[in-house]
Structure 1
Amino acid sequence: MTSRSALSLAALLGVAGVAHLARPRPFDRIVPRSLPGPARVYTYVSGACELALAAGLAHPRTRRGAALAAAGFFVAVFPANVQMAIDWRDATPARRAVAWGRLPLQVPLVWWALRAARR
């Protein structure tokens, strides 16, 4: 894995983290309602995690650990994508396509993170 690929993953996570913190409302809506407490807490925590993962991926010394943590993070947020697909089942076809398209997208993200963990 090239450092460019790991840095690209870091950039993706960094942008996502900033989006969670700057515009949390859309992310609040997809937090599974079965989780205790306010959705906004989960939105902010996931945004902070994304920023921390991005920082870890950016530095060669912390890249492996951050990449493994990123793979776990992508698995952990999968229920939010499922919640989105459920909530948008009666939405327009375009929105349903986005919601359902996010589900299989987690697989290449996990794979990308695991590849970044290799030295």
Structure 2
Amino acid sequence: MKTFARWLLALGMMFAGLSHLFWARREFQAQVPDLVTDVLPIDKDGVVVASGAVEIMLGAALIVLPKERRRVGSLLAAFFIAIFPGNLAQAMDRRPAFGLDSDAARLTRLLFQPLLVAWALLATRD
């Protein structure tokens, strides 16, 4: 069961990463907090592309680096925590993206973030 959960997570991460790079770039830009681009010398599209590349690498690492599974799971959990402020900014600023066009929908999405963290950790532990 853990193997299935890990593969599903890996494939989901790679799919999400590819969507950052291609068909959903504008949608993901709605999640980039303004503070990020105010502080760093990068625009929202650059943040989306970079995070997409990280998602692809983490997803692939879950598959191709089985001896590093636990470490990759920890990095993935940290990544999910790191992107939470973007999801929070989308909710607080009421930015519609990915069909999240109501406060209830955006709040529900926030509640799923801890589940992703748990999934990354539990699926990569022996």
RMSD: 2.1
Instruction: Give 1:83's match in structure 2, choosing from 89, 92, 104.
Output: 89
- 8 A Cα contact 2:17 2:55, kept in partner: yes
- 8 A Cα contact 2:25 2:45, kept in partner: yes
Instruction: Give 2:45's match in structure 1, choosing from 25, 40, 45.
Output: 40
Task: Show CA shifts across 1:60-100 (max 9, x none).
Answer: 2232221111000000000000011012179xx95322211
Equivalent residue, structure 2, for 1:51: 56
Q: CA deviation at 1:57?
A: 0.9
- 8 A Cα contact 2:10 2:59, kept in partner: yes
Q: CA deviation at 1:115?
A: 0.7
Moved over 2 A (4+): 93-98
Q: What percent identity do the matched residue pairs reach?
A: 36
Equivalent residue, structure 2, for 1:19: 19
- Match of 1:66, as an amino acid? V
1:10 aligns with 2:10: yes
Equivalent residue, structure 1, for 2:67: 61
Aligned partners of 1:4, 1:24: CA distance in 2, in Å?
Answer: 28
5+ long unaligned stretches in structure 1: none
- Equivalenced residue count is 118
5+ long unaligned stretches in structure 2: none
Task: Show CA shifts across 1:5-34 (max 9, x none).
Answer: 100111111111011111311111220000
Task: Show CA shifts across 1:40-69 (max 9, x none).
Answer: 111011100100010011132232221111
Equivalent residue, structure 1, for 2:124: 117
- 8 A Cα contact 2:17 2:53, kept in partner: yes
Equivalent residue, structure 2, for 1:108: 115
